[in-house]
Amino acid sequence: MRTLITSVDSIGRGLARTLPFDRVYAAEAVEQAARDDLDQVTVTALAPLAWATNQAASEDLMSIRRFQEVLATCRISHLTLISTCAVYPVPYQVDESSPIDPAFLPPYARHRHDLEQWCLDRWDATVVRLPHVFGGPHRSEVRNPASDLARFAALNPASTTQHYDLARLGGDLEAIYGIGLRLVNLVTPPLTSAQVLTDLLGVPFMPGADAVPPVQRDVRSRYAGLLGGRDGYLETAEQALVRIAMYMGDRRPVPAGAVEGG
């Protein structure tokens, strides 16, 4: 019996379309799950936007504690928690073996790292950490760049971000289960803002953006080779760019100065 616990606007909505779940529970009504034998459980319900969570840290912690109280009463044979690469205090050249000191984490990351450890200690569990995502109902920079151009264009063109295609998630989870991994980063190579914004989408940066210190992301996985990748990543930078381009299609914004249809 496979069970999914998800929120209305989350990674889980896309996952529900790619894996055969027998039951799906809304996170807001998770108490209903306590009455049932959940067996194999996947949780994607606890990943709102980091900036919003950091501004409402106490509410976020209360929500997670309530969620834990309910899960603790459930009969679960295996639990999969979809988490975030934000749990690394310095997300640069780190992997699953890198130590994490929660004292150096903001509330969003600290709460989710605490939940990871709670799940791993309590059950036969798998924790999957994702970087920024696209290709599903979860909001990300790549999913709707047209509404984020000001923020994109203000970044240093050399800033790097890792973008994970949610179309991969179902297959990657099945591979992880087959191998028996307990903690894994599903990561692709870092792409510079220039590669995504200018080279791929044709949008220029704001004047002076190169004077802003670049933000660097480079989370890797020790298990990439077991999942069909190499050098710590699931795919090459070229493959990651192709995935973004294929997803964007006619969603690409019109470059400044261009005329639609011309």
Query: Over the stretch 67-76, which tens digit does the pLDDT of each residue have?
Result: 898 889 888 9
CB neighbours of 5 closer than 8 A, spacing ≥ 6? 12, 24, 25, 26, 27, 30, 33, 41, 42, 43, 44, 45
Per-position b or e across 222-248, b if 16+ CB within 10 A of its CB: ebbeebebeebbbbeeeebbebbeebb
Residue with tokens 């997670």: 64
Query: Over the stretch 21-41, which tens digit does the pLDDT of each residue have?
Result: 998 888 777 777 777 778 899
CA distance 50 to 259: 36
Domains of the chain: 1-130 (3.40.50.720)
Query: Over the stretch 206-244, which tens digit does the pLDDT of each residue have?
Result: 778 888 889 899 999 999 999 999 999 999 999 999 988
pLDDT band at 123 (very low <50, low <70, confident <90, very high): very high
Query: Over the stretch 37-57, which tens digit does the pLDDT of each residue have?
Result: 788 999 987 755 555 566 667
CB neighbours of 201 closer than 8 A, spacing ≥ 6? 145, 248, 252, 253, 255
CB neighbours (10 Å) of residue 142? 24
